[in-house]
């Protein structure tokens, strides 16, 4: 049972950063539209949790399941890595602003924050899309009666992007 949970850690964990990044993005947009500003203290815990979740999702990605039989792995990984860096930057920026006692984000800082959170939201959704394509369309990591539907090709690197 425990080994089964460990083997499925990536699909279990990926849903948290997806939900948290989208929630953080929507919260920031609503605050910016309603108030014309975003207080860096508000939503801080959402972005910090999203950063931890994204780091865990990236760290638990089962690359070995896709070895040699999908052209989507590199796109999925690159988007995941870029999204992780965006979310870490947003969380760090907010944490730093709170630590410094900064006033709410307005004008240029608000625009930069919204652009970063928009990119993070688009990144996490695109990463999820390509991950879903690998699982639901190509059967990567899927097993039926203990046998891989699309087994990895041992001794090969994943197929190039196509």
Whether residue 59 lies inside any domain: the answer is yes
Cα radius of gyration (the chain): 18
Which residues make Cβ contacts (< 8 Å) with residue 98, sequence separation at least 6? 40, 41, 44
Is the distance from CB of 160 to CB of 74 less than 8 angstroms? yes
Domain count, the chain: 1
pLDDT band at 71 (very low <50, low <70, confident <90, very high): confident
Which residues make Cβ contacts (< 8 Å) with residue 161, sequence separation at least 6? 71, 72, 74, 75
Whether residue 105 lies inside any domain: the answer is yes
Whether residue 21 lies inside any domain: the answer is yes
Bigger pLDDT: 43 vs 102? 43
Whether residue 22 lies inside any domain: the answer is yes
Bigger pLDDT: 59 vs 158? 59
Whether residue 74 lies inside any domain: the answer is yes
Give percent of the chain above pLDDT 90: 51
Reply yes or no on whether the pLDDT at 149 is more than 80.
Answer: no
Bigger pLDDT: 21 vs 7? 21
Beta strands in 53-159 (DSSP E): 143-144, 147-148
The residues that bridge with 143 in the sheet, in sequence order, are: 148
Whether residue 10 lies inside any domain: the answer is yes
Whether residue 159 lies inside any domain: the answer is no
Give residue-wise pLDDT tens across range 12-36.
899 999 999 999 999 999 999 999 8
Give residue-wise pLDDT tens across range 47-63.
999 999 999 999 998 87
Is the distance from CB of 67 to CB of 153 less than 8 angstroms? yes
Question: Lowest mean pLDDT: which of 23-32, 67-76, 123-132, 152-161?
Answer: 152-161
Whether residue 81 lies inside any domain: the answer is yes
* Domain span at 48: 2-148
């Amino acid at each position: 049972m425990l080994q089964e949970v460990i083997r499925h850690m990536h699909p279990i964990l990926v849903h948290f950063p997806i939900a948290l990044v989208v929630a953080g993005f929507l919260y920031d947009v609503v605050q910016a539209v309603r108030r014309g500003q975003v207080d860096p203290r508000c939503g801080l815990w959402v972005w910090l949790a999203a950063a931890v979740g994204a780091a865990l999702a990236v760290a638990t990605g089962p690359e070995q399941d896709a070895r040699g039989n999908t052209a989507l792995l590199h796109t999925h990984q690159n988007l995941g890595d870029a999204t992780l860096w965006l979310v870490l930057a947003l969380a760090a920026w907010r944490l730093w602003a709170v630590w410094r006692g900064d006033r709410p984000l307005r004008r240029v800082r608000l625009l930069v924050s919204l652009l970063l959170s928009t990119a993070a939201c688009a990144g996490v959704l695109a990463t999820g899309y390509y991950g879903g394509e690998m699982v639901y369309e190509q059967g990567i990591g899927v097993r039926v009666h203990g046998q891989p539907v699309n087994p990895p090709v041992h001794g090969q690197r994943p197929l190039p992007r196509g």
